[in-house]
Amino acid sequence: MKLFVSSSPHLRSKKTTTGVMLDVIIALMPALIMAVVYFGFKALLLALICVGTCVLTEYICRKVMKRQNTIADLSAAVTGLLLALNLPVDINPFIAVFGSVVAIVVVKQMFGGIGYNFVNPALAARVVLMVSFPTAMTSWTNTRFMEAVDGVSSATPLATGEGAYSYLDLFLGNIGGSMGEICTLAILLGGIYLVARRVISPIIPVVYLGTAAVMSLILGLDPLYQLMSGGIVLGAVFMATDYVTSPITKWGKVIFGVGLGILTMLIRTYSNLPEGVSFAILLMNILVPHIEKLTKPKSFGEAKKEKGEKV
Amino acid sequence: MENNLKFPTKPFRTKGGAKVPHRKNTAQCESVVLTDIPEVVIPMSQHIGAPCKVAVQKGDKVFVGTVVGDTDAFVSAPVHSSVSGEVKDIITMTLPNGVVTEAVVITSDGLFEKDPDLKPPVVESKEDFLKAVRASGLVGLGGAGFPAHVKLNVPKGKEIDTLLINCAECEPYITADHREVLENSWAVMSGIYAVKDILGVKRVIIGVEKNKPDAIKLLKEIADNEKADPDDVVRVLPLKSSYPQGAEKVLIKATTGRVVPAGGLPSDVGCVVMNVASVAFIADYLKTGMPLVRKRLTVDGSAIRNPRNVIVPIGTPVNRLIELCGGYKEECGKLLMGGPMMGIALFEDSAPILKQNNAILAFNVKDASTAKGGSCIRCGKCVDACPMNLVPCTIVRAAKNNQVDVLKEYNTMTCMECGCCTVVCPAQRYLVQSIRLGKAILREEAKKEKGAEVKK
């Protein structure tokens, strides 16, 4: 008789990394479906291009680095899908491919692959594209339900200023913007699914959006209009909650969310950039190790530190 | 502390834990006494503390209850023969936990004759009681194996106001304590009273997980009965069925709301925790004088033909026990001594049943296969699951990189190795295993520091 000997515990839950990633993909489906509804099948095509490039790049990367292949964990697919949803639907496919390669090679694999990237790969890639191809990245296409004002392109609700779109249009996504960020309803559905499946904790999205709302009031803006415009909901639900690049402690998540809300609204109001979500999240990503250090939870029975005592 | 001596009506909040399957398949199986054991192996180290010295010689005639090993050390407990027969050999063996110890091999004559010198102890004082508990060979039957007389000998200056009876039995599969309550309820109550009087406590709380409604009902009946509980000091507190509800610190928090300080003992917060089988044994011992020579345990798992609860002589080889439970129904890939969460995997099926053992689980090859750990995705599930509020993933990283300062900063020694973090990890990482490594690093470091101090 051959007996396996291992150190306890001898049980495992059925939840796996692949399962987590699959849940994220499922949660992104409403946003993708709404993109197809608004822009037609070219939206789906763009998503397939990004996902395909990300998965293929990851496969080649791991092969070249002679490491265990990790495409089966679906994390590369999630990165691809997120990147696609952050792009204008009519972007040159080569730009999309370039962005995907940047996300996987530069941001993810060069730092050690899944779990080791210090910023969100999809977001970092989006920022690289924004800086490299500013015009292409801000040429928005009209949704099929919009009256064409000047033929093809439309403006985001942030660029037009408050009042250009009705709350209903904003909520349903009949506005200009990246193909996955426009429909607030679809993104919220995905978020509720993730929370219900216990994939994410609601702390970061709630604190982020709440802080942004308060900041809007302070800055004299319309909170509802601000929250349903641009990429803030998509960012709050899917990007800021990225496990690898957000704090794992409860209070860390709160600080992270507050920081995001403040930074986003400050960039939106005072900088020349059209949108502040990407930069806010990237900046906060970099601060995560420090936030975690600050918010180390007090362990069971840990003595209170005396004043002046060295750690 | 006086003012919070009321009985809680509902458990206090505890953090973390993991959803593990209950699989209490044997809860309704009445324990079967097994006697067809041709040979037993009695190791000298079945407890935390100093191992015993062999007190018999090859060829000696022994009876049930004859001392075969003892020592003068305080933190230790004598071991007794569990059968009547002849000492066949004295061997050196490796226990499943890696401890190398001497063991007495006894051939049974099948008669189970009691040692004629055994008689119920005369208990007139606390000293008598502690002496009797030591002589009985009792160790914590919940699994830790800490000598009971040491636990009951509360250091001076520490006031104990609460006795907690641990009947949580939160490990999957195991139903031995559950059966103890159902089949031996008289002894449970009698033992509680004996221990309560010795400790002089005003309050006894029996913590039971809610997945044992029949045990809760029976215990409540006894606790509410004026005859059985004349002073009305015993109450039953049903607890949430969640692992690790039965871990000492978690149980104390859930039943009293008190937090044992890191590195401290239950007595630091006025509590003594005893396993339900331990108190029942004390009652039996005070009545009969028969030391700890047999053990109730659960035999279960996917490879066992007839899962059941059994009462077997201590020292029974596991393979004989499994034969008596119908043998394996398929190829066995993993044998556990204890539950699947904290049990020890056996490297050979000839290992003997030990005092603190409460289950033997045999799993088929499929259940035994081990997970391939991936990269940490920092999902934080281990942080949520940790009952000690630690950050397992950070500790693991520090342990692998030998970062002593980080290990210290993150209170690695507080880990009680319950395994919750590892169960919930979606990347299937070996978390608690690496934390054990971290604890070993810190122990080494402490030794080094101590050595340096001595040199100064």
Across B408-423, average pLDDT: 95
Q: Which of B262, B342, B428 sits opposite A16 (nearest CB)?
A: B428
Residue A259 to residue A282: CA distance in whole angstroms:
11
Residue A17 to residue B425: CA distance in whole angstroms:
9
pLDDT digits (tens, 9 = 90+) for A94-129: 999 999 999 999 999 999 999 999 999 999 999 999
pLDDT digits (tens, 9 = 90+) for B82-140: 999 999 999 999 999 899 999 999 999 999 999 999 999 999 899 999 999 999 999 99
**Is the predicted pLDDT of residue A207 greater than 50, yes or no?**
yes
Greater model confidence, B339 or A272: B339
Q: Which of B368, B383, B423 sits opposite A248 (nearest CB)?
A: B383
What is the band of B1 on the pLDDT scale with cuts at 50, 70, 90?
very low
User: Distance (Å) from the C-alpha of residue A158 to the closest C-alpha of chain B?
Assistant: 33
Across A35-57, average pLDDT: 96
pLDDT digits (tens, 9 = 90+) for B135-159: 999 999 987 889 999 999 988 888 8
Q: Which of A9, A248, A311 sits opposite B378 (nearest CB)?
A: A248
Write down the pLDDT at residue A163: 78
Across A164-190, average pLDDT: 92
Q: Which of B312, B266, B318, B269 is nearest to B293 (CA)?
A: B312
Q: Which residues of B touch A7 (CB under 8 A)?
A: 345, 430, 432-433, 436
Q: Please indicate whether, in this complex, the C-beta atoms of B19 and A13 are within 8 angstroms of each other.
A: yes
So what's the ipTM on this one? 0.88
**CA closest to B265 among chain A residues:** A301
Contact B135, B291 (CB under 8 A): yes
CA distances from A60 to A22, A102, A209 (A): 22, 14, 38
Q: Which residues of B touch A116 (CB under 8 A)?
A: 375
Residue B314 to residue B292: CA distance in whole angstroms:
8
pLDDT digits (tens, 9 = 90+) for B296-318: 999 999 999 999 999 999 999 99
Across A13-39, average pLDDT: 95
Write down the pLDDT at residue A272: 80
Q: Which of B20, B334, B379 sits opposite A3 (nearest CB)?
A: B334
Residue A281 domain-assigned (yes or no): yes
Residue A5 domain-assigned (yes or no): no
Instruction: Report CA torsion sign: B404, B406, B411, B416.
Output: negative
Q: What are phi and psi of B189, to 5 degrees?
A: -70, -40
**CA closest to B392 among chain A residues:** A248
Residue B179 to residue B124: CA distance in whole angstroms:
32
Contact B140, B182 (CB under 8 A): no
Query: Which CATH number fits the domain that encloses residue A233?
Result: 1.10.3430
Write down the pLDDT at residue A156: 82
Residue A50 gets the label, from left (phi > 0), alpha (psi -120 to 50) or beta, of alpha
Residue A231 to residue A278: CA distance in whole angstroms:
8
**CA closest to A304 among chain B residues:** B261
Q: Which of B380, B419, B430 sits opposite A248 (nearest CB)?
A: B380
3-state secondary structure of B91: strand
Q: Which residues of A touch B390 (CB under 8 A)?
A: 297, 299-300
Q: Please indicate whether, in this complex, the C-beta atoms of A300 and B262 are within 8 angstroms of each other.
A: yes
User: Distance (Å) from the C-alpha of residue B166 to the closest C-alpha of chain A?
Assistant: 20
Q: Which residues, numbered 203 to 242 in chain A, qualify as contacts with chain B under a Cβ-Cβ cut-off of 8 Å? A: none
Residue A262 to residue A264: CA distance in whole angstroms:
6
Partners of B209 in the β-ladder: B239
3-state secondary structure of B327: coil
Order of strands, edge to edge, in the sheet holding B67-70? B53-54, B67-70, B79-80
Q: Domain residues of chain B, as ranges? A: 2-27+120-288, 381-455
CA distances from A87 to A92, A230, A237, B9, B75 (A): 10, 12, 17, 57, 69
Residues 6+ apart with CB under 8 A from B446: none
Domain that holds residue A39: 17-294
Fold of B2-27+120-288: Rossmann fold (3.40.50)
User: Distance (Å) from the C-alpha of residue A250 to the closest C-alpha of chain B?
Assistant: 9
Residue A305 domain-assigned (yes or no): no
Cα-only R_g, chain B: 22
Write down the pLDDT at residue B3: 45
Q: Please indicate whether, in this complex, the C-beta atoms of B423 and A113 are within 8 angstroms of each other.
A: no
Domain tally, chain A:
1
Write down the pLDDT at residue B92: 96
Q: Which residues of B touch A9 (CB under 8 A)?
A: 340-342, 419, 422-423, 432
Write down the pLDDT at residue A142: 84
